[in-house]
Structure 1
Amino acid sequence: MNKSLIMVCILTAFISCSKPSIPSANKRSSSYEANRYSRIEYRIDAHAHIGYDGFDRAIRIMDLAGIRRLVNLSGGIPGYDFEVMQTLSKMTNNRIVNFVNINWHYVDYPDAFQKMNIRNLNRAKAMGAKGLKIFKSLGLGIRYGDGRLMRIDDEVLDPIWRECGKLGLPVSIHSADPVAFFKPFTPDNERYMELLAHPSWSFYGGDYPTFEDLISQLENVIKKHPETTFIGVHFGNYAENPDYVGEMLDRYPNYYIDIAARVPEFGRHNAKKMHDFFIKYQDRILFGTDIGIHSDSLWLGSKGFEEEPTDEDAVEFYRKHYKYFETSAVQMEHMTPIQGNWKIDAIDLPDDILEKLYYKNAEKVIGITLMGNE
């Protein structure tokens, strides 16, 4: 029995023994309060990361925050942990669905690497995967045996992008990181506190590509594979520059974006400008938060030196998203303080735009429905 199968068996046995009491997908929590803070009853969070021990806690938070469906982008790899994640998803009546991830072993053997991952994509699709998630390690961490960083637009990956198009699996892709992470790691850096908490997020110097190079590599992939749907996470990976993101959306009809963990950044821009952006690209933007949920820890867009967040903090994290999109609040506190010491102005979107942002675009792009009857 290989190691992959052994791991699946161990995790499955653990789940069976622990019998997590995931709340019913058909019951509304008695503490449900989202309608006090939002004009829209339910949403799909299209960008989350749930540990295998966090599904029951995730459902509780979802019920409190008005999240009907949630997309776990950390679904894992078939033969390792994807099967376990799918089992846990079924225990939520598929309120939580999974994206599959790439197995980066054997990058020095292109043929084997491609065949393995194409096989995994097909297996994952058959098991219910809703898409493929690519982490920022592509371009910033995955290396060949000789030490070279693998580029986002490396031709070795072309068959994988094509297979996603054939299978109808959207690709959520994280490329680069905030622009500040590519600047000197000094007290003058506006994200200094966040970098202090996560020094490995500094990509200044060394052999790292520039921010601009990474964004260019991403565009090369989107342009080369028009048959494949790409979701540029974190506001198209360039929340500092909505004009550029808009140009990308104009050029590439196969490109969508989510807003996960970047409201504090794009919220710094003029409220009317951002209001108009969400109106213009109303069919191309997905709601997501980058929330991370484990039984003993929460990740609310980012994390620093603060006390461990509670479920109530997670609900407030969601409420601040709703406040930004649904009110005209001026100089409101944003939802992830460690991402920057500033305030943002809300953009008060109309209900029909909110419905597209909150769930209709995810229904279209990811292929799930708000109420789970797909």
Structure 2
Amino acid sequence: MKIGVWLLTSLIIVSSCKTNSENDASKETSELVNDKQSIKKIDVHSHYKYSREYLPVLHQKWNMQSVLVDVSIKDSTGIVRSWDSYLTHAQKHPDLFFLCSSLIGVGIDSPDFVEQAIQQLKREIDSGARMVKVWKNFGMVTKDSSGHYIQIDDSRLQPIWDFLKQKNIPVMAHIGEPEQAWRPLDPNNPHYGYYKNNPQYHAYKFPEIPSYETIISARDKWIENNPDLKILCAHLGSMSHDVEMVSERLDRFSNMYVEPAARFGDLANQDSKKVRAFFEKYQDRILFGSDYGNATPENIMSPDELKEEEMNLDESYNKLWRYLSSSDSLVIRGQKTQGLQLSKEILHKIYYKNAIDFLELR
């Protein structure tokens, strides 16, 4: 009888301790989720082309800085970029914005292509660029004079990578697209809206575009051929539908890092425990990115439109914060999911420390 009483008392004590521990953890999580300023942040992938009076205030609210990522696109007028606008923003708010230059393969057959590209990058690095972006032009859009799509591992680009290694400048690589781009439109897929509104990138409709596997293979070969070049694979390396694919590459390439901008819907479409384990295992190789930005000059927007834009942007950052920091039930790009509830230590790495280390911002 005495033994029975002792066991019952012990179980009550253990249960009480466990409950108290769980309550303490829950309280700590709740406090963290509600205190957005508790962790410094760098959004390593943003596109704020046009200035906004509210942007400095919003960044201060989130205790955040942003990398303005340039993109080079060829249209009927030539090469279109946002670099000049970004440079102006960074010069006006050096405590707020960092710069990322860009490279495109147009004119790769020209004898002075490499020289001209390196001269451009030199100027922009001297002006403050901390990184250079290559886009899905490589593999999906830009062709050489023979009509072949230029893959990112093209040997004609190697002198540029060698130059960037010498300057210790990393590359942000958005190579390829989500696998969904090579499939029929699926209303239940997180990317349905994008390909419906941007059919030019829906590779399923353009069989001449190289396959997903071809483009990813070329990207992998490029990373393997340049082990001394730090590479940040944007959008989880266009493998966001399967964190195991990302894991396999991170295990294979020590110079590869990833960020999940605009691919949180793909993460939400996978088992939360599996995704959480991925973040925990690669907590030193994942950077926070949003892909948020704007495309309309402030002077042609009404005060109500600007206020709505600000509120939507704040809510978008808040949803990503809740996904990473809480265990809340969420809907991200139509995908029902549960927050990852990452520890404060891991959040600090993903939101801030990893970007500081990767871009050497000390």
TM range (shorter): 0.7 to 0.9
Q: Which residue is 1:366 aligned to?
A: 359
- Aligned partner letter, 2:66: L
Change (3 A) 1:148 1:250: same
Q: Deviations over 1:218-245 (max 9, x none)?
A: 0000000001000001012211111111
User: 1:152: how far off?
Assistant: 1.7
User: 1:194: how far off?
Assistant: 3.1
Alignment partner of 1:312 is 2:311: yes
Equivalent position SS for 2:112: helix
Contact 1:134 1:171 in 2 (8 A): yes
Distance 1:82 1:76 in 2: 9
Superposed, 1:303-342 pairs within 5 Å as 310-330=309-329, 332-334=330-332, 337=333, 341-342=334-335
Q: Which residue is 1:54 aligned to?
A: 51
User: 1:37: how far off?
Assistant: 5.3
Contact 1:58 1:293 in 2 (8 A): no
Structure 1 window deviating more from structure 2 (119-128 vs 172-181): it is 119-128
- Aligned partner letter, 1:168: N
- Aligned partner letter, 1:123: R
Equivalent position SS for 2:203: coil
* Unpaired runs of at least 5, structure 1: 1-33, 298-307, 369-373
Distance 2:65 2:351 in 1: 11
Contact 1:50 1:293 in 2 (8 A): yes
Structure of greater Rg:
2
Contact 2:68 2:86 in 1 (8 A): no
Alignment partner of 1:42 is 2:40: yes
Percent pairwise identity: 26
Change (3 A) 1:190 1:76: closer
Q: Which residue is 2:67 aligned to?
A: 71
Q: Which residue is 1:288 aligned to?
A: 289
Equivalent position SS for 1:87: helix
Change (3 A) 1:84 1:333: closer
User: 1:166: how far off?
Assistant: 1.2
Q: Which residue is 1:194 aligned to?
A: 194
Change (3 A) 1:309 1:108: farther
Larger % of helix: which? 2
Distance 1:105 1:229 in 2: 24
- Aligned partner letter, 2:43: D
Q: Which residue is 1:265 aligned to?
A: 266
Q: Which residue is 2:240 aligned to?
A: 239
Q: Which residue is 1:126 aligned to?
A: 126
Q: Deviations over 1:64-90 (max 9, x none)?
A: 4x0421001117799x86455323312
TM-score with structure 2 setting the length: 0.80
Q: Which residue is 2:19 aligned to?
A: none
Superposed, 1:176-255 pairs within 5 Å as 176-185=176-185, 191-204=191-204, 205-255=206-256
Q: Which residue is 2:168 aligned to?
A: 168
Q: Deviations over 1:45-76 (max 9, x none)?
A: 0001121x236453243234x04210011177
Pairs aligned (count) = 318
Distance 1:166 1:88 in 2: 28
User: 1:296: how far off?
Assistant: 4.6
User: 1:276: how far off?
Assistant: 1.1
Alignment partner of 1:108 is 2:109: yes
User: 1:104: how far off?
Assistant: 3.7
Distance 1:279 1:187 in 2: 31
Distance 1:282 1:267 in 2: 18
Q: Deviations over 1:283-318 (max 9, x none)?
A: 000001000124558xxxxxxxxxx96210100000
* Unpaired runs of at least 5, structure 2: 1-31, 74-78, 299-306
Change (3 A) 1:285 1:192: closer
Q: Which residue is 1:351 aligned to?
A: 344
User: 1:114: how far off?
Assistant: 0.7
Equivalent position SS for 1:285: coil
Distance 1:355 1:209 in 2: 39
Q: Deviations over 1:330-361 (max 9, x none)?
A: 3x111xx3xxx321221101110000000000
Contact 2:324 2:342 in 1 (8 A): yes
Contact 2:70 2:82 in 1 (8 A): no
Distance 1:55 1:161 in 2: 35
Contact 1:234 1:260 in 2 (8 A): yes
Q: Deviations over 1:248-297 (max 9, x none)?
A: 11111110001111111012211111111111101000001000124558
Distance 1:309 1:237 in 2: 31
Distance 1:276 1:155 in 2: 37
Equivalent position SS for 2:38: coil
Q: Which residue is 2:94 aligned to?
A: 93
Change (3 A) 1:245 1:325: same
Equivalent position SS for 1:131: strand
Q: Which residue is 2:27 aligned to?
A: none
Structure 1 window deviating more from structure 2 (359-368 vs 81-90): it is 81-90
